[in-house]
Amino acid sequence: MLSTSGLDTVIVPIGGDIRSNISLTQPDGTVTKINEPGPSLSAAERDRLISAVASNLGATNWLVCAGSLPTGVRDDWYGELVELGRRHGVQVAVDTSGEPMTQSLHARPDVVKPNVHELAELTGAMPSTLGEVIEAANEVRHRGARTVLASLGADGAVLVDADGALWGHAPVTGVVSTVGAGDAMLAGYLAARVAEQPLDEALRSAVATGAAATLEVGGGRFDKREVSRLVTTVTVSAAEPVSAR
């Protein structure tokens, strides 16, 4: 699958089996996920994986740390990778949840991409309005993240950095599956940043790519033509936290 996608891939052999995640999608868009826990990594396997990452950082602008951590890897492992990226002059994005996300903040990742539920995990309160989402994102920034790209599902996304907050939204109909839409959103954001587009255009790209992924069956798949169409429909505007109103 990776070869068919045209991706350069470095294989790091492990003793266990890679996991399978199953998503059951109903006609009304309801998705049930059945995620296996995955294998446990030995210390030697973890070290080989770190070495593989380090040896390939010279040819990239961004390192993305995404997903849950396997058994045998400490919760601060993504934090180690953030520091590794910084030593190589590479920016790092973290897209995970729970304690691994919390621990990664100590290393000051360049971007984190929580959803609303993950923001609630980080801050201890579920945000229910756009202003509360921005306040929660700012709290995450104060704890270490330089930029927060928060996905809000059908309500779009918020991008918060030291200069303020932007909200982006695209009208989408005919949603097939939301599996992988957040991953696609982060990919759209990073593609725009690599192309040195300004933050408002990066958010526009992120929202359009995430929205396009909801129109496809399969985790994070999307049609580039749909991204090009949707990007013209994305509304991006400045937003403020509750305390600023």
Residues tagged active-site = 183
Residue 126 — φ and ψ, nearest 5°?
-80, 115
CA–CA separation, 105 and 50 (whole Å): 19
DSSP 58: G
Residue 121 — φ and ψ, nearest 5°?
-60, -40
Among the listed residues 113, 141, 140, 145, the one whose alpha carbon sits nearest the alpha carbon of residue 124: 140
Sign for the pseudo-dihedral over CA of 107, 112, 115, 119: positive
Residue 90 — φ and ψ, nearest 5°?
-110, 135
DSSP 235: E
Tokens, residue 126: 């579920």
Which amino acid, one-letter code, is at 156? Answer: G
Q: Which helix (H) or strand (E) element contains residue 165?
A: strand 164-169
CA–CA separation, 137 and 131 (whole Å): 10
Burial class (CB in 10 A: 0-12, 13-18, 19+), 220: middle
